[in-house]
Amino acid sequence: AQKVTQAQTEISVVEKEDVTLDCVYETRDTTYYLFWYKQPPSGELVFLIRRNSFDEQNEISGRYSWNFQKSTSSFNFTITASQVVDSAVYFCALSVGLETSGSRLTFGEGTQLTVNP
């Protein structure tokens, strides 16, 4: 069975602060995939990143960066110089492939990020 824990339920920061969202996962599979999604108040989940278990390279995309550490089963997400538009619920998710193709995402409970002006 898979499990994802996002211990931070809510985070509030002031604009331009850096913020890190934590994600810890559990799985017995050696091949797995990790994702981050953003859900703004409009409701649509927006895909941010996908990582497979064999690729531990950290990634940076603009103000976003991700730190994947298999040794601690963590896949943390940092927003640098936060902006009001970053306010949203962020979900970390874990998946293993399905025999029938497609995937079953196991989501964390989400972290509500509020960026105040």
Partner 1 sequence: DTEVTQTPKHLVMGMTNKKSLKCEQHMGHRAMYWYKQKAKKPPELMFVYSYEKLSINESVPSRFSPECPNSSLLNLHLHALQPEDSALYLCASSQAYGFSSYEQYFGPGTRLTVT
Residues that bind partner 1 (CB under 8 A): 31-33, 35, 37, 42-47, 50, 52, 91, 95-105, 107-110
Q: Which regions of the chain does DSSP assign to beta strands (E)?
A: 3-5, 10-14, 19-21, 24-26, 33-39, 46-52, 59-61, 64-69, 74-79, 88-97, 103-107, 111-116
Q: Least distance in Å: CB of 16 to partner 1?
A: 27
Q: Which is nearer to partner 1, 46 or 84 (CB)?
A: 46
Q: Which is nearer to partner 1, 31 or 69 (CB)?
A: 31
| In contact, 4 and 108? CB cutoff 8 Å | yes
Q: Which is nearer to partner 1, 85 or 98 (CB)?
A: 98
Q: Which is nearer to partner 1, 1 or 14 (CB)?
A: 1
Q: Least distance in Å: CB of 39 to partner 1?
A: 9
Percentages (nearest 5) of helix, strand, coil residues in the chain: 5, 55, 40
Rounded Cα–Cα distance for residues 100 and 16 (Å): 45
Q: Least distance in Å: CB of 7 to partner 1?
A: 15
Q: Least distance in Å: CB of 98 to partner 1?
A: 7
